[in-house]
Amino acid sequence: MATAVNTRADKVAHLSHFIDGRFVPTARSHFENRNPATGAIVNLVPEADPAVVDDAVKAAKRALKGPWGKMSEQQRSAILRKVADGIMARFDDFLAAEVLDTGKPKSLAAHIDIPRGAANFNIFADQVLTLSTETFRTATPDGAGALNYAIRVPRGVIGVICPWNLPLLLLTWKVAPALACGNTVVVKPSEETPTTATLLGEVMNEAGVPPGVYNVVHGFGGDSSGEYLTRHPGVDGITFTGETGTGTAIMRAAADGVRPVSLELGGKNASLVFADCDLDKTIEGVTRAVFANCGQVCLGTERVYVQRPILAAFTQRLKAAAERLQPGNPFDTATTIGPLISQAHRDKVLSYYARAKADGAEIVTGGGIPALPSPYSSGFFIAPTIWTGLAETSAVMREEIFGPCCSIVPFDDEDAAIALANDSPYGLATAIWTENLARAHRVAAQVEVGITWVNAWFLRDLRTPFGGSKQSGIGREGGVHSMEFYTELRNVCIKL
């Protein structure tokens, strides 16, 4: 099928914004979107100026009053199912685009990113059909009473700002519930991964989503399209996933106009490995938690606390697992770890590798850049790395690195493990590894995070509340919790 986006490694395409159901060519400056596995240019991407963002917001505003605003929940739900089907019908295009933009192994994107992108539309197509509100019968002095009931209305135009680590998955996680509830959206995908958001425009048109309901503007964050979008007074709510610092800036922007925000932010997550764990399962789980997607997962583990009796065995086995990871061509099925997203991000992660050394860490494995043949030698690969011996005060232990690395630290008892896990400004996720059920419940109740796994990592049921405590975010996504953000409740009181 002819497509407006590039899904091939051997040609460079021009991307467009997608506004009012059309791909909008623009003469304004284009930036290069590079394949992180090779450094080659994938797309030239336009940067939206304030006028382009304004066009997109106005198109979204008009669409609220058009057929979309008049549709029943059943009709919207049926269209969203067609969007899910459309993603699956174009599975190979989405897969190729995601792999070229991110460099992640094709096997990973085929297993998680693309199917979840489609599943997000199906789950919220279901969810919207079962949304309920409250009613109250209220006493009045005349004895006749009053009936109070709440109605749900869409918030309006939602600004959607997304990161690059799970581009389609995280974007659809916001777009699907927003549309299910009758909102319209203007999406600003990450400058690093603009392609699948654009391709989704084609699917929206094919599925019968009316023009203006889904819009995409490209560009950067501060002083670019991201900031223009969050500051635009026509945007009625903002949903953001990304770094905590960016979330803070977006919250400030949203204060003008007192607009609601949903923020899914960074993490510095702990795994707590107790001596009574099943070591085989734990090694498998912690290996994924640390190294999946080259460590670029908000839920990933960068602090691994291990009970002292199994410290040596655990460390030796995690080292072996890290050394088995195979970097290289993401399209090759033998590849199990891709590159970091960009040269700039690799420089940042390498600065933490240097910092760990300076802070006296012992390097268990890794620590540098792996030697790979051309063209992957020009990619942004980095060695999976494990440290021991770091103090809790080291920046490596406190700041989110977002790379394939972790620090192993021993603990003696349950209270110490909980205290270590909670000693962080972040509060996104914790994974507890133990075969002791009572311990699992005790610890889960005390860790200060939004998501706790016991003997699992990244095991998701999309109906459950997802989000961070402390500086890891505000609000919850998933199931009915997403719908709470994308609708406003209005109360009606009728005197009987």
Just list the catalytic residues.
264, 298
Residue closer to ligand NAD (CB basis): 77 or 472? 472
Residue closer to ligand NAD (CB basis): 210 or 219? 219
Q: Is 293 in the site for ligand NAD (CB under 6 A)?
A: no
Residue closer to ligand NAD (CB basis): 166 or 283? 166
Q: Is 197 in the site for ligand NAD (CB under 6 A)?
A: no
Edge to edge, what strands does the sheet with 41-46 contain? 13-14, 41-46, 30-34
Choose the stretch contacting ligand NAD; rule: CB under 6 A; options: 31-39, 145-153, 283-291, 468-476: 468-476
Binds ligand NAD (CB under 6 A): choice among 241, 282, 293, 424: 241
Q: Is 164 in the site for ligand NAD (CB under 6 A)?
A: yes
- Secondary-structure breakdown of the chain: helix, strand, coil percentages, each rounded to the nearest 5: 40, 20, 35
Q: Is 174 in the site for ligand NAD (CB under 6 A)?
A: no
Binds ligand NAD (CB under 6 A): choice among 188, 232, 317, 476: 188
Q: Rounded to whole angstroms, how far apart are CA atoms 122 and 127? A: 9
Least distance from ligand NAD to the Cβ atom of residue 299, Å: 7
Q: Is 56 in the site for ligand NAD (CB under 6 A)?
A: no
- Residues 391-430: x where in contact with ligand NAD by CB under 6 A, - otherwise, as a string: ---------x-x-------------------------x--
Q: Rounded to whole angstroms, how far apart are CA atoms 428 and 227? A: 25
Best CA proximity match to 109, nearest among 294, 266, 243: 294
Q: Is 98 in the site for ligand NAD (CB under 6 A)?
A: no
Number of residues that bind ligand NAD (CB under 6 A): 32
Indicate the SS3 state at residue 341. coil
Binds ligand NAD (CB under 6 A): choice among 141, 222, 233, 373: 222
Q: Rounded to whole angstroms, how far apart are CA atoms 416 and 64? A: 53
Q: Rounded to whole angstroms, how far apart are CA atoms 221 and 270? A: 29
Q: Taking a C-beta distance cutoff of 8 angstroms, is the pair 429, 456 a contact? A: no
Choose the stretch contacting ligand NAD; rule: CB under 6 A; options: 16-24, 158-166, 280-288, 390-398: 158-166
Burial of 25 (0-12, 13-18, 19+ CB in 10 A): exposed
Q: Is 246 in the site for ligand NAD (CB under 6 A)?
A: yes
Structure tokens at 109: 């994107």
Q: Is 301 in the site for ligand NAD (CB under 6 A)?
A: no
Q: Taking a C-beta distance cutoff of 8 angstroms, is the pair 52, 19 a contact? A: yes
Choose the stretch contacting ligand NAD; rule: CB under 6 A; options: 48-56, 72-80, 140-148, 186-194: 186-194
Q: Rounded to whole angstroms, how far apart are CA atoms 483 and 351? A: 40
Binds ligand NAD (CB under 6 A): choice among 42, 265, 273, 405: 265
The residue with its CB nearest to ligand NAD is 221
- What residue ranges in 116-181 does DSSP mark as E strands? 135-138, 146-154, 157-161
For the chain, count helices (H), then strands (E): 17, 23
Burial of 206 (0-12, 13-18, 19+ CB in 10 A): middle
Pairing verdict, β 473-474 and 261-264 = antiparallel
Residue closer to ligand NAD (CB basis): 210 or 247? 247
Choose the stretch contacting ligand NAD; rule: CB under 6 A; options: 122-130, 199-207, 216-224, 280-288: 216-224
| Contact footprint for ligand NAD (CB under 6 A) | 161-165, 170, 188, 190-191, 220-222, 226-227, 230, 241-243, 246, 249-250, 264-267, 298, 400, 402, 428, 468, 472-473
